[in-house]
Amino acid sequence: MKTSSGILLCVLALSACSPLVELEDENTALRAKIDSLEILLGEYRSQSDLLEERLSAVERENLQLDDRNRQLSARIAELQYGGAVDEQGGIARADGTREMTDVTPVPLSTQAAPIYKKETPPDLTFLRQYQSALSAYNAREYPRAARLFTDLLATADANDMIDNCVFWLGETYVQLGELEEAHVRFSTVLGYDGSDKTAAALVSRARTAIALGRSAEAREDLERCIRTFPRAEQAATARRLLKKLD
């Protein structure tokens, strides 16, 4: 009887331990999942921080380029694009002739217009490619910049920096002497509702119109800039250009 009782007690003890073992295994698996989730969360936070850093870097570079563009544009306005030369061999001469560069513009009529979507931030891939294109422009590597901007616009999803990309492609075409193509890009930017590049695009399109001999059109854009953005820096530029047209 004692032997039977001992066996029974052992069986009961083992039966009681079995749920505990299963519970411990469950806890171990749960801890592993938590650790995995914490790793993923850390990677997400790291990626988010990197994205914010990239965006800040792009914004800083964009401000620097805006300053540089205003200086270049003032010079171009005085010359009315006569003899604008880039360091890659593209020349727009005062008599209307120009030497060809190694860039063939892609007409917007043959491709879908890039979609601007306000309040939708770009992804990290877009920011990296956009930064590369801006750097090429800033280095006066205009043919390379044109290719980079064009390729980015052809593959990017809609976001709130598409207008910047189209604008700088337009400025790149100005430097390459492709004034009609530049005019089309500035017009595209002006078609984006809520774009923060509207004032700049108005002035740039006006300058391009002046170079193409379309003074009346330029005047309309300059007056619209002054009327809509009276306190913006571009409005001051527009007033100076209007005086030159008078």
User: Which of the pair, 195 or 114, is modelled with greater confidence?
Assistant: 195
pLDDT in tens, 183-241: 999 999 999 999 999 999 999 999 999 999 999 999 999 999 999 999 999 999 999 99
Sorted by sequence, the CB contacts under 8 Å of residue 156 that are 6+ apart come out as 114, 122, 126, 129, 162, 165
Transcribe 215-243 into DSSP letters.
HHHHHHHHHHHHHH-TTSHHHHHHHHHHH
Task: Indicate the pairing of strand 98-99 with strand 84-85.
Answer: unpaired
| Longest CA pairwise span in the chain (Å) | 121
Task: Please provide residue 157's backbone torsions phi and psi, each rounded to the nearest 5 degrees.
Answer: -75, 160
The radius of gyration computed from the CA coordinates of the chain, to the nearest angstrom, equals 30
Predicted local distance difference test score (pLDDT) of residue 35: 72
pLDDT, residue 243, reads 93
pLDDT band at 103 (very low <50, low <70, confident <90, very high): low
| pLDDT, tens digit (0-9, with 9 covering 90-100), for 23-33 | 666 667 667 76
- Residues with Cβ within 8 Å of 163's Cβ and at least 6 positions away in sequence, in order, are 116, 189, 192, 195, 196, 197
Q: How confident is the model at residue 114 (pLDDT cuts 50, 70, 90)?
A: confident
Beta carbons within 10 angstroms of residue 206's beta carbon: 30
DSSP state letters, 136-204: HHHTT-HHHHHHHHHHHHHHPPSBTTHHHHHHHHHHHHHHTT-HHHHHHHHHHHHTSTT-TTHHHHHHH
Is the separation of the CB atoms in 75 and 151 below 8 Å? no
Burial code (b: 16+ CB inside 10 Å, e: under 16) for 187-198 equals bbbbebeebebb
Mean of pLDDT values over 90-112: 48
List, for residues 136-156, the tens digit of each pLDDT value: 999 999 999 999 999 999 999
CA of 125: how far to CAs of 113, 167, 180, 219, in Å? Answer: 20, 19, 30, 39
Quote the CA–CA distance of 182 and 31 in Å, as a whole number: 59
Per residue in 46-91, pLDDT tens?
665 666 666 655 655 665 565 555 454 445 444 443 444 343 344 4
The predicted structure's pLDDT at residue 57? 59
Task: Tell me 100's DSSP state.
Answer: -
As its CATH architecture, domain 54-245 has: Alpha Horseshoe (1.25)
